[in-house]
Homo-oligomer: A and B are copies of this chain.
């Protein structure tokens, strides 16, 4: 499933068109033709994104928007506003009331689809890259290669896993226990001091003269990539 999308829009023809096409693209879609109803259904449905009409018979889009932003469960629900008006004033109000994007009717389904993708991409950052980059350090997961400043670097398997681990969460400080837990194969018993030695080896490999140290020691806490 690509994601769940909820639509609140009173023009049935638009709902039908959009819902049909989105479902064809693999989304799970639900909708409501009115504001108050829609708010309730939406909270049950728990969508990943909301398409919201600006002008509704009962509630204005802005009111709905504000209601949603006040609910801690939906504070960060991405919202794309559908508006018939082209006036800039309205656009600004919409954006300021906490909308992530808007699109003016009539719109092509292609453009809507692209905007949905863009907004969704930001809201869940699942990363499928096989290259991890940090500063001038680059690690290729499938080729098992490491580069510093475009120069390839040789490191052993353990140091590779260690570096890969650091690269998935740069800047964050990890304790030796956490590092052991994740970088070493399950249920191995190694001294926690052993990590110091591997850190040293990794440092020696990735440090190029003149370039700054990349692994930071945080006394009493652990290590991090900076």
Contact = CB atoms under 8 A, between A and B. Distances in A.
Contacts of A167: 72
Contact of A142 (B114, B122, B173): B173
Interface in A157-208: 157, 167, 170-173
Given A100-B122, A125-B75, A110 B133 contact: no
A92 B103 CA distance: 12
Interface residues of A, number: 49
Nearest to A130: B172
Contact of A157 (B92, B157, B220): B220
Given A92-B111, A108-B88, A118 B143 contact: no
Contacts of A101: 101
Contacts of A95: 114-115, 117-118
A96 B121 CA distance: 9
A21 interface: no
Contacts of A121: 98
A131 B71 CA distance: 9
A76 interface: yes
Nearest to A221: B144
A73 B135 contact: yes
Interface string A96-134: 101111000000101100110110011101010101111
B118 A70 contact: no
A163 to B, nearest CB: 12
Given A95-B115, A118-B99, A144-B218, A127 B75 contact: yes
A149 B129 CA distance: 33
A96 B72 contact: no
The 8 closest A-B pairs by CB, nearest first: A95-B118, A157-B220, A92-B114, A95-B114, A144-B173, A71-B133, A144-B218, A72-B134
